[in-house]
Amino acid sequence: MRTTLKLVLPLIISVALVSLLFAAYQVRVQRKNLRNDVSRRAELLAESLQEAVEPLFEKNERNSEKAMQRVVDRFAQREHMQGIAVYESDKGLRVMNSSLGESFKQPPGAMKRSIELNAGQGEFTQAAGVPVFIYSVPLTRGEKTSGALLVVFDTSYIDSRVLLTLRDALLTALLETLLVSGLALVLVRWTFLNPLQRTAKWLRTLRAGETQIPASLPQGEIFDQLNREMTHLARDLGAARAAAAEEAQLRETHASVWTAERLRISLRSKLRGKPLFVVSNREPYMHVKGDRGPEVLVPASGLVTALEPVLVASDGTWVAHGSGSADRENVDASDRLRVPPDLPSYTLRRVWLTHEEVKGYYEGFANEGLWPLCHIAHTRPTFRPEDWLQYQQANRRFADAVLQEMDGVETPIVLAQDYHFALLPKMVKEARPDARVAIFWHIPWPNPEVFGICPWQKEVLDGLLGADLIGFHTQTHCNNFLETVDRALEALTEWDRFAVNRQGHVTRVRPYPISVAFSNGKPLQEWRNAGGERARLCEELGVEGSLLGVGVDRVDYTKGILERFRGIERFIEMNPAYRRRFAFVQIAAPSRTDIPRYQQFLDEVTAEADRVNARFQSGKWKPIVLLRRHHSHQEIGRFYRAASLCMVTSLHDGMNLVAKEFIAARDDEHGVLILSTFAGAALELTDALQVNPYDVQQVAAAILQALEMPDQEQAARIHRMRTTVKDHNVYRWAANLLSDLTDIRIDTPERQENLAAPGEESEEVRR
Ligand code: ADQ
């Protein structure tokens, strides 16, 4: 209360002062008006009496005195009137009303002045202690002013009226002050103090270790800003605490787990103050037009999680396609902006592409050509000369942007991402031979016969070999690449150190299995038990079933979604006891929908789910629940944690992060992973139930095995897989890749560097 009073005291004083000033003004105006009124009335009366009295005064006779007395007596009856008197200038008083009293026997000053000036004269004065107004008009006899007529008004009523007004005005001022102050007190408490107290309470709980952001934060322009900052602060504090706890725990267990912090510190010393340049098609932060101005979208990406700590530590630059609808309005004149928006720490350089370029380079050559070519999923690649032209042009555009960004930086470090940039390493290296350039290929590399289908395989290989280091997920992909180079190009393939030597330039080829950020600390979201979560999810979806399975994919023909549905169909067919008990939720994000094959595949997936459901559906139960939309990571996390099994049945996959995300999410050590042997992840996650997705019988059997697996076995398998994913998380991936890149000797490429042997890690990363 005291704080509130302190806050509103200046307001109370101001309101009181203004009210008092207004009261004083009112009183002044009233006094003036009443005085004007009485003087006007006196003047009018005196002038009309002057006309009546002057003839009698002129006669100067005894009986005229009586007549004058009658006139003054008759007129003296008016309101507030004290009386009338007539004076002779040399003889003094001639007639007056008795009410005037002794003090008027002597002529007052006003009378003398009116005779001297021969004009009406008035004054406010006191007579016998009573306030009066006197007005005097001259009386003439012949041509000479010889006397005066005096009108006297009692003005004590003016003071009493003014006093009354003053009292009312003071009362009003007091009431106003009380009302305004009361309202101000309530408003301040309501709109400021209470929300501030709630925020302060939250800060206290935050200090005590609670990282949860309260559901109802104070709203409003000021608070929105405050909330934004506080929320960031809470998140940062939570992350810092989790990192510290994780570090402490790791030290305790002597584990060599990589964390964002360890990566940041390690790479900072490796980069020796040099910035890192990352090139990818997709940007880490995208601006889109929203109803209330531009909004920032953060596409969920493991890559951002892994590379951001290094970019922040090195104040690096990320070059990417500006594909957001409000991207152009949110860059400076050099197409740059600082990110992350909450705490700008590195540069995002946006590259603009025309509609034709996007169609040819991204949709055409990359996604209709290289994607199906590299995945053995029996969708024919399409190679169009015009797409190839656009691919070259787009690579040139990105290369120019990187070159511009690294102008003035000595021996810069560049990491390009994926099959969109096969030509960029050579373009960069030709212009900047001092640069260390790596490219990470996120999809499989097929055998030489398959890659030979690409009409421009030589140019693609030539572009890639401009890099000093090429990374794949698995050793098999590395081997396929080296064999392809062996067959297609005139180059020295050094199988002993997994490198290609072309006219003195050495390209190392290494496997770096990508992963997820495995959080060791306390989960930010309160853990809810799987059973409860499952019941809630089923209710939200309107699904019947006590056992849930989950699949999470972009709707892509490489992910084996149709084969998965057929496996579920066979399982239900063979195990009727699971009808109405087991439901499979397929989270399916439509992807690349501008490409006809993808539109067609989305229809196929929908039709297949409908077909299987139509066979078995009964009441509220159906075997497949297809959710055709992008889900947030939080939403997906709920399904991961509630499911009894997760199915990854890719026909071919570089790695597959869904498999690792599922394992990372299950800190209850429950749940079974069914994993395709054709996903890169199968090499590491050997405790998954591995299946050939084309073998419908095997898939159905794996589902049964998963649902009937004893808890103990589930726990043992998932525990081992969690250890693997925790040790080989995405930070380790970045550490391995970037530390190998920084270890490369540019000046003497022929000399054997300190690089770890293929498939092994450097001593420093292993530690
Ligand atoms: P992708 O082919 O996209 O990646 P994947 O590794 O499974 O495949 O990663 C997909 C990511 O998207 C996961 O993080 C997943 O959670 C998310 N996702 C999938 N469906 C979603 C949905 N419906 N809503 C929201 N998010 C969804 C390529 C290669 C992979 C390789 C990665 C990383 O094809 O083999 O593992 O790059 O290198």
531 pLDDT above the threshold of 60? yes
Ligand 1 mean position, distance from CA 300 (Å): 9
Closest CA to ligand 1's atom 9: 657
Ligand 1 site, residue 514, Cβ cutoff 6 A: yes
DSSP letter, residue 508: E
CA distance 568 to 555: 18
Whether the CB of 659 sits within 6 Å of ligand 1:
no
- Structural element, H or E, at residue 81: strand 81-88
44-58, 292-306, 409-423: least confident range: 292-306
**444 within 8 A of 679, measured Cβ to Cβ:** no
129 backbone dihedrals φ, ψ, rounded to 5°: 80, 5
Q: Which residues contact 227 (CB under 8 A, 6 or more apart)?
A: 199, 217, 218
Report the separation in Å between the CA atom of 653 and the middle of ligand 1, taken as the mean of its atom positions. Answer: 10
Phi, psi of 164 (to 5 degrees): -60, -45
Q: Of 614, 635, 633, which is closest to residue 623 (Cα–Cα)?
A: 614
| Region at 725 (left for phi over 0; alpha for psi -120 to 50; beta for the rest) | alpha
Statement: the pTM of the whole predicted model exceeds 0.75: no
Range in 110-119, 378-387, 687-696 with the lowest mean pLDDT: 110-119
Q: pLDDT digits over 427-436, tens only? A: 999 999 999 9
pLDDT of residue 13: 86
550: which 2 tokens? 């989950």
Pocket test for ligand 1, best of 301, 553, 554, 633 (most atoms within 8 A of CB): 554
Counting Cα atoms < 13 Å in the Cβ hemisphere of 162 gives: 16
CA of 598 to the centre of ligand 1 (A): 16
Q: Is any atom of ligand 1 closer than 6 Å to the C-beta of 553?
A: yes
Residue ranges of E strands in 305-446:
317-321, 336-339, 346-351, 413-417, 436-440
Q: What is the pLDDT of residue 727?
A: 93
Q: How far is the CA of 76 from the centre of ligand 1 (A)?
A: 109
Q: Which atom belonging to ligand 1 lies closest to the Cα atom of 552?
A: 20
Where does the pLDDT of residue 522 fall: very low under 50, low under 70, confident under 90, or very high at 90 and above?
very low
CA of 709 to the centre of ligand 1 (A): 27
Distance in Å, CA 534 to ligand 1 centroid: 23
Q: For ligand 1, is residue 84 a contact (CB within 6 Å)?
A: no
Which residue carries 């994926």 as its tokens? 418
Is the pLDDT score of 525 beyond 50?
Answer: no
Residue 153 CA to residue 135 CA, distance in Å, equals: 9
**Residue 720: C-alpha distances to residues 244, 258, 725 (Å):** 24, 18, 9
Ligand 1 proximity of 665 Cβ (cutoff 6 Å): no
Q: What confidence score (pLDDT) does residue 747 get?
A: 66
Distance in Å, CA 657 to ligand 1 centroid: 6
Angle between helices 2-59 and 62-75 (to 10 degrees): 160
Can you tell me the mean pLDDT for 504-509? 95
> Whose alpha carbon is nearest atom 3 of ligand 1?
554
Q: Mean pLDDT across the stretch 382-403?
A: 98
pLDDT for position 211: 64
Q: Is residue 455 reached through a cis peptide bond, with omega within 30 degrees of 0 on the bond before it?
A: no
| Average confidence score pLDDT of the chain | 89
Average pLDDT over residues 630-659: 95
Which numbered atom of ligand 1 lies nearest the CA of 680?
A: 35
Kindly report, residue by residue over 6-51, the tens digit of the pLDDT.
777 888 888 888 888 988 898 999 999 999 999 999 999 998 888 8
Count of residues for the chain? Answer: 767
The answer to whether the beta carbons of residues 360 and 389 sit under 8 Å apart is yes
Q: Is 661 in the pocket of ligand 1 (CB under 6 A)?
A: yes
**Which segment of 11-15, 38-42, 210-214, 250-254 scores lowest on mean pLDDT?**
250-254
Tokens 């007056």 identify what position?
96
Tokens read off for 454: 């690409």
Best residue for ligand 1 mutational test, from 376, 441, 601, 655 (most atoms within 8 Å of Cβ): 655
- Name residue 308's amino acid: E
- Residue 757 above 70 pLDDT? no
Among residues of the chain, what percentage have pLDDT more than 70?
Answer: 92
Q: Is 589 in the pocket of ligand 1 (CB under 6 A)?
A: yes
**Closest residue by CA, ligand 1 atom 23:** 589
Q: Is 654 in the pocket of ligand 1 (CB under 6 A)?
A: yes
| Res 172: pLDDT | 87
Residue 631 Cβ < 6 Å to ligand 1: yes
Whether 515 lines ligand 1, by a CB cut-off of 6 Å, is no
Report the separation in Å between the CA atom of 586 and the middle of ligand 1, taken as the mean of its atom positions.
14
- Decide: 418 in ligand 1 pocket, CB within 6 A: no
- In the chain, how many H helices and how many E strands? 24, 23
Distance of CA 502 to the CA centre of its chain: 50
- Is it the case that residue 84 has pLDDT exceeding 60? yes
Nearest to 646 by CA among 539, 732, 721, 570: 721
Structure tokens at 271: 């980069």
Atom of ligand 1 nearest to the CA of 679: 35
Q: What is the mean pLDDT of residues 625-632?
A: 93
Instruction: Choose the residue to mutate in 552, 593, 629, 737 for probing ligand 1, maximizing ligand atoms within 8 Å of C-beta.
Output: 552
Rounded Cα distance, 575 and 571, in Å = 6
Token pair, residue 18, equals: 């203004």
d(CA 626, CA 569): 14
Buried b (16+ CB within 10 A) or exposed e, 316-337: bbbbbbbbbebbeebbeeebeb
310 pLDDT higher than 60: yes
Mean pLDDT, to the nearest integer, of 260-268?
87
